[in-house]
Amino acid sequence: MANEPTKVLLEESQIPRNWYNILPDLPKPPPPPLHPATLQPIGPDDLLPLFPADLIAQEVTRDRHVPIPEDVLDVYRLWRPTPLIRARRLEKSLSTPARIYYKYEGGSPSGSHKPNTAVPQAYYNARQGVRRLTTETGAGQWGSALAFACAQYGLACEIWMVRASYDQKPYRRSLMRAYGGTVHPSPSAVTTTGSRILAEDPGCPGSLGIAISEAVEVAGGHDDTRYALGSVLNHVLMHQTVIGEEALEQLAMLGETPDLIIGCAGGGSNFAGLVFPFLREKLAGRMAPVLRAVEPAACPSLTRGVYAYDYGDSAGFTPLLKMHTLGHTFVPDPIHAGGLRYHGMAPLLSHIYELGMVEAVAKNQSECFKAGLRFARTEGIVPAPEPTHALAETIAEALRCAETGEPKVIVTAVCGHGHFDLPAYEGHLAGHLEDVPLPQERIDTALAQLPAA
């Protein structure tokens, strides 16, 4: 095996030509989103003020394959295909017979998997004549991906960044500006919602819910402006399937069949993007990998939430989505994996979880940072706090293999680098990060406020 490559690379001509839509391959469709007032399924027209027609069509399409436009492929080529890397040095440090492969998405312009959907979203908006996109961002991964994508198609990009992050994460804020984006701390005086909140509480640290409200308000109020969302929706998950499609191709080149696919899950787009193509192969009987989502113990929507209709945002402005949720009023502890601090899980992924097709486990933060450091010191890449969750489970599984002697083939994704999260690593190294158990009553309190549906 010494002559096998460490990295499996594909040619640009091997970038997938289609996104994969898992809907037609499921035994039954997921329950539809409901209008919060009428409790009736919402139609495509209800979404037109916020999204371009092409994306709304992708949200509900039953086509198994959706062609990737040439203009999107052209931007994907800046960093795709991404490498599949055999983690030989990590394996060696674990003395495991397992073979560990990771798909690395941190080499994208903004440093995560987010541009996979930001680029087509910007493209379809630009094609429809939209001049500006608005969005919210927490830690800034999504905002910087969208700012980059907008720069590619000449769109203005306006981002409401949760005030607490705006103050604490100046590098991410600067990255959005370097790409030409406009960044507002949220709440902001720019919107009615923000102004009202600031009038009541000038020092308000903001929340993702407030930032969504501001971005949606501006998009809804201007004909030339639309809104963009970085996870949760069907079309976002579909755009991310380029990750899994490439990984399938790369494993085939090695003649490897995966026994286990492990991905971190917050809103669900990274996990779905990696796993859905493998699930298709599994449903077709061509392979039989276990598919395992890893979520933070501080925000365990799959492992401790319920499957129910709930709002997508904390403020309760969105349609009702049937999903695994801790309740839209649930506020997770401030762990550093900001991208995993979401009260719900993508409806499509929640549905698939309900069908018993994927497993889920939850991890404490300190185990994850330990895994991140081990990965950095062996493989060289400092991973973002989000994928350290997948790495912690990968390492745990590889150590189980070391005990049993099983040469399992484990595939995971490092969905982003941790260059902007180094203060969190510093905190871990200094022993400042403590794992705080999540009491059941906090979940119960939030679940008591689920909307009636």
Binding mask 137-176 vs its own copies (x if CB under 8 A, - otherwise)? -----------x--xx-----------------xx-xxx-
- Judged by CB, which is closer to its own copies: 13, or 440? 13
Is residue 17 a contact point for its own copies (CB under 8 A)?
Answer: no
Is residue 242 a contact point for its own copies (CB under 8 A)?
Answer: no
**Rounded Cα distance, 92 and 158, in Å:** 46
Is residue 101 a contact point for its own copies (CB under 8 A)?
Answer: no
Is residue 347 a contact point for its own copies (CB under 8 A)?
Answer: no
- Judged by CB, which is closer to its own copies: 309, or 425? 425
Sign of CA dihedral 26, 312, 295, 114: positive
Residue with tokens 């049993």: 404
Amino acid at 382: V
**Rounded Cα distance, 425 and 405, in Å:** 32
Q: Give the CB-side neighbour count of residue 5, counting CA atoms within 13 A.
A: 12
- Count CB atoms within 10 A of the CB of residue 356: 7
Q: Where are the alpha helices (DSSP H) in 284-382?
A: 301-304, 347-354, 365-379
**Rounded Cα distance, 110 and 174, in Å:** 12
Shortest distance (Å) from residue 334 CB to its own copies: 19
Pairing of strands 18-20, 65-67: antiparallel
Is residue 185 a contact point for its own copies (CB under 8 A)?
Answer: no
Do 132 and 156 meet the contact criterion of CB atoms below 8 Å apart? yes
- Judged by CB, which is closer to its own copies: 203, or 380? 380
List, as one string, the DSSP characters of 387-420: HHHHHHHHHHHHHHHHHH----EEEEEE-BB-GG
- Judged by CB, which is closer to its own copies: 22, or 175? 175
Shortest distance (Å) from residue 310 CB to its own copies: 36
Shortest distance (Å) from residue 110 CB to its own copies: 8
Amino acid at 273: G
Is residue 211 a contact point for its own copies (CB under 8 A)?
Answer: no
Single out the residue of 65, 131, 132, 177 in contact with its own copies (rule: CB under 8 A).
Answer: 177
**Rounded Cα distance, 418 and 382, in Å:** 5
- Judged by CB, which is closer to its own copies: 11, or 201? 11
Is residue 425 a contact point for its own copies (CB under 8 A)?
Answer: yes
Q: 80: Cβ–Cβ under 8 A, 6 or more apart, which residues?
A: 12, 15, 242, 246
- Judged by CB, which is closer to its own copies: 32, or 69? 69
- From 250, 303, 300, 301, select the one nearest 278 (Cα to Cα): 250
Is residue 376 a contact point for its own copies (CB under 8 A)?
Answer: yes
Q: 234: Cβ–Cβ under 8 A, 6 or more apart, which residues?
A: 21, 23, 58, 59, 60, 346, 347, 348
Single out the residue of 194, 346, 420, 438 in contact with its own copies (rule: CB under 8 A).
Answer: 420
Single out the residue of 25, 167, 224, 426 in contact with its own copies (rule: CB under 8 A).
Answer: 426
Shortest distance (Å) from residue 122 CB to its own copies: 13
Single out the residue of 337, 382, 411, 438 in contact with its own copies (rule: CB under 8 A).
Answer: 382
- Count CB atoms within 10 A of the CB of residue 141: 26
Tokens linked to 226: 């639309």
Is residue 89 a contact point for its own copies (CB under 8 A)?
Answer: yes
Do 59 and 239 meet the contact criterion of CB atoms below 8 Å apart? no
List, as one string, the DSSP characters of 94-124: HT-S-EEEEEE-TTSTTSBSTHHHHHHHHHH
Shortest distance (Å) from residue 147 CB to its own copies: 9
Size of the site for its own copies (CB under 8 A): 45
Shortest distance (Å) from residue 397 CB to its own copies: 22
- Judged by CB, which is closer to its own copies: 150, or 251? 150
Is residue 95 a contact point for its own copies (CB under 8 A)?
Answer: no
- Judged by CB, which is closer to its own copies: 217, or 421? 421
Stretch that binds its own copies, among 37-45, 102-110, 225-233, 248-256 (CB under 8 A): 102-110
Shortest distance (Å) from residue 431 CB to its own copies: 13
Is residue 283 a contact point for its own copies (CB under 8 A)?
Answer: no
Binding mask 45-84 vs its own copies (x if CB under 8 A, - otherwise)? --------------------------------xxx-----
Q: Which residues bind its own copies (CB under 8 A)?
A: 5-7, 9, 11-13, 77-79, 85, 89, 107-111, 115, 148, 151-152, 170-171, 173-175, 177-180, 373, 376-382, 419-420, 422-423, 425-426, 429
